[in-house]
């Protein structure tokens, strides 16, 4: 039975910096806390596991290398026991989980998100389409079959994006076209405008993200919008500072930026205090989006597809493909290769589906076109 009224939560907390096991334990702890509070959805920040590598904005190449090695070693694989533990926690608490994490796949990292169902199934696995500025030195680009956001669920059409993806007009338009009703705008950790140094634009500060970009997303799409943020402590500042460099001492500018907005862009809950660490709770009523979408539904009556259309290509482009002229060209599903099509508690290789690598699926690309 679809729910139109329910409780949801946005996490604003400090990650277990660069500690995979610590991050998994803290994630499960928040899932359990949200479950006890009666929530049907809990939303985590961007790359919550193993934390956002904020050092990459402040250090040089040689300083970054030891930190980058540790970061990669503590990133999370989708088809791993750590991820299965998180999925079981969602199942145990019968709620949806939007989780941001640094995904390691082969030797590349991605700014990834999964939407986990109350059954423990991963309904959506996506990767940020383009890492931002210096993030390109840490992460790769998402592929065509792993960037769509919106999923139809029992609690509404739910989407999630990472950081400045929430500012991307094309991605907002794509989500609106799918009738998104509730959105997770997942953010990392970065300072408020009090730390702004010229000529750095105001675009690159947390106040802009939380008090301008996020409510604009809610207003333009007519969707409930949860904005989970990471936090920093003095110890966290030290963890994000390379050896031999004096860390900042005041974490306050990095904190207090989590938000939840109604479909009209107004605040749904008060802004948290700088020292607040935990869950922001909100009572969702999907019926409130009727009025905003009545005025401006960019997926329907307030759009002119005969004049403006968005071309979307969800095909995966492989570095290596298998050609089989009589039957077409082999293409591969990221979801299948990572084992997300297998039951949560299935033994890899023993459920009749083979290994997570798979052999690919033959598709006649001329027919697809």
- Buried residues in 253-278 as b, exposed as e (16+ CB within 10 A): bbbbbbbbbbbebeebbeebeeeeee
CB neighbourhood size of 142 (10 A) = 22
CA distance 309 to 302: 13
Q: Tell me, what DSSP letter sits at residue 252?
A: G
Cα separation, 283 vs 301, whole angstroms: 28
SS3 95: coil
Instruction: Tell me, yes or no, if 163 is annotated catalytic.
Output: yes
User: Out of 14, 163, 288, 293, which one is annotated catalytic?
Assistant: 163
Residue 110 to residue 55: CA distance in whole angstroms: 17
Encoding tokens for residue 159? 């989407």
The Cα-based distances of 163 to 22, 56, 81, 214 in angstroms read 23, 16, 27, 10
Give 81's Cβ-side CA count (13 Å radius): 2
293 belongs to the catalytic site:
no
Backbone angles phi, psi at 231, to 5 degrees: -125, 170
User: Which residues neighbour 61 within 8 Å (Cβ) at sequence distance 6 or greater?
Assistant: none
Beta-bridge partners for 111: 102
Angle, helix 20-36 to helix 81-93, in steps of 10 degrees = 10
39 labelled catalytic: no
- Residue with structure tokens 């990767």? 127
Structure tokens given for 276: 């607040």
Instruction: Out of 128, 172, 262, 293, pick the active-site residue.
Output: 128
Q: Which of 26, 40, 46, 262 is catalytic?
A: 46
What stretch of H or E contains 43?
A: strand 39-43
Q: Which residues are catalytic?
A: 46, 128, 163
């Amino acid at each position: 039975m679809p729910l139109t009224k329910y409780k949801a939560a946005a996490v604003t907390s400090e990650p277990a910096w660069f500690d995979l096991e610590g991050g998994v334990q803290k994630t499960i702890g928040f899932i359990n806390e949200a479950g006890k509070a009666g929530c049907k959805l809990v939303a985590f920040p961007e790359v919550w596991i193993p934390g956002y590598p904020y050092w990459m904005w402040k250090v040089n190449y040689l300083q970054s290398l030891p930190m980058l090695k540790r970061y990669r070693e503590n990133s999370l694989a989708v088809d791993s026991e750590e991820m299965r533990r998180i999925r079981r926690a969602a199942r145990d608490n019968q709620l949806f989980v939007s989780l941001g994490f640094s995904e390691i796949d082969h030797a590349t990292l991605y700014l990834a998100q999964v939407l986990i169902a109350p059954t423990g199934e991963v309904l959506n696995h996506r990767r940020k389409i383009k890492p931002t500025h210096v993030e390109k030195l840490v992460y790769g680009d998402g592929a065509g079959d792993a960037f769509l956001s919106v999923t139809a669920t029992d609690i509404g059409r739910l989407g999630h994006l990472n950081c400045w993806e929430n500012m991307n007009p094309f991605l907002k338009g794509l989500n609106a076209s799918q009738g998104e009703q509730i959105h997770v705008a997942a953010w990392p950790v970065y300072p408020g405008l009090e730390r702004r140094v010229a000529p750095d634009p105001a675009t690159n500060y947390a106040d802009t993200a939380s008090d301008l970009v996020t409510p604009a997303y809610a207003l333009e799409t007519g969707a409930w919008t949860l904005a989970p943020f990471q936090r920093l402590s003095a110890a966290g500042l030290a963890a994000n500072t390379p050896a031999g460099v004096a860390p900042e001492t005041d974490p306050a500018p990095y904190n207090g930026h989590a938000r939840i907005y109604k479909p009209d862009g107004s605040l749904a809950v008060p802004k948290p205090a700088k020292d607040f660490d935990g869950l922001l709770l909100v009572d969702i009523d999907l019926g409130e989006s009727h009025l905003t979408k009545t005025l401006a539904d960019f997926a329907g009556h307030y759009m002119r597809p005969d004049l403006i259309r968005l071309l979307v290509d969800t095909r995966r482009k492989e570095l290596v493909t298998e050609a089989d002229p009589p039957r077409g060209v082999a293409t591969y599903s990221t979801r299948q290769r990572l084992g997300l099509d297998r039951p949560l508690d299935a033994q890899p290789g023993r459920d009749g589906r083979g290994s997570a690598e798979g052999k690919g699926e033959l598709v006649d690309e001329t027919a697809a076109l």
